[in-house]
Amino acid sequence: MRILVSGSIATDHLMHFPGRFSEQLLAEHLHKISLSFLVDDLVVRRGGVAPNIAFGMAQLGGSPVLIGAAGHDFADYRAWLERHGVDCESVHISADHHTARFVCTTDEEMNQIASFYAGAMAEARNIELAPAVERTGVDLVLISADDPAAMTRHSAECRARGYRFAADPSQQIARMSGDELAELIEGASLLFTNDYEKSLLESKTGLSDAEVLARVDVQVTTLGSKGVDIRGRDMPTVHVPVAREHAKVDPTGVGDGFRAGFLAAREWGLSWERSAQVGSLLATLVLETAGGQEYDVKKADFTERLAESYGDDAAAEVLPYLASID
């Protein structure tokens, strides 16, 4: 199975605030908030949901296909991704706009305040999936956070053409209407959210927990430090705890890392539980670095840490699929 990863392509500007946002926010004055945080660090990283996920898959030896809209400044980023095994031939390049920008400040408790400039991403709604699917023969389309019109167009095309797809609305749940979200998830093989996004999706669509699950095959809900739950209409709930961390550096892209590892392991044919374990460990590697693509998967280290978190059987089952990496 090969995966087409659609979604935002962006540059991340990541800053650190040496304090707690909660100590600067006055509940009685939130209606007229005006704050400036003096940060002590700034790094500029390659980002965007789709490249983060595609990069993670490639780190595990996969051959993901990236699709989305980028600006005329994408050349260096493209070269980076292609050097790391990501197929970028189907990326749309805007003649008029810069690649999207994500500007994020993280405090001492890993809380974040962020802004996102769409730029070229607005042109993703003009992208048709069929040429990329026909060129690469992918078996699954991942529709991750992107221009909302692009997301609903992609899901409609998948249903019309019979493509298997996974819906991953994440940050765009706040932006999309209930009708758009209901249209996006209808018929999805997989639905990814975190626990807050799950509740927000239900609230905006007016659908109950059971009604959401009735519209998809399997629902994957990440629970932060409590792990992940995987539920399906014809399967018992699977719960997997988080992988053990060695440090907390930056949470940016952690969810993308989970999706990359989870989908890569499903591509290998592993069980839901084992796939979630691979995803959780990849997410932990992202947490331990600054940025969503600043880590390297090493076969020996990865299997050792799988054993540390999930036991020797997990490491032994995953090891053969890491043969193509160092």
- Written as six digits, the tokens of 134 are 């026909």
For 242-263, the DSSP string reads PPPPS-----TTHHHHHHHHHH
How many Å apart are CA 132 and CA 322, to the nearest integer?
A: 26
How many Å apart are CA 249 and CA 110, to the nearest integer?
A: 9
Q: Which is the catalytic residue, given 179, 256, 312, 326?
A: 256
179 is catalytic: no
Beta-bridged to residue 106, according to DSSP, are 16, 112
| Residue 52: C-alpha distances to residues 288, 313, 319 (Å) | 15, 28, 23
| Residue 83: C-alpha distances to residues 34, 63, 87, 121, 258 (Å) | 43, 12, 10, 23, 22
Alpha helix ranges (H) inside the chain: 49-59, 75-83, 130-136, 148-161, 178-185, 195-205, 209-215, 254-268, 272-287, 299-310, 312-318
Q: Count Cβ neighbours within 10 Å for each residue of 108-122 and write b for 16 or more, e otherwise.
A: eeeebeeebebbbbb
Phi, psi angle pair for 119, to nearest 5°: 55, -130
Residue type for 245, please? Answer: E
| CB within 8 Å of 233: residues ≥ 6 apart | 213, 214, 217
Residues tagged active-site: 256
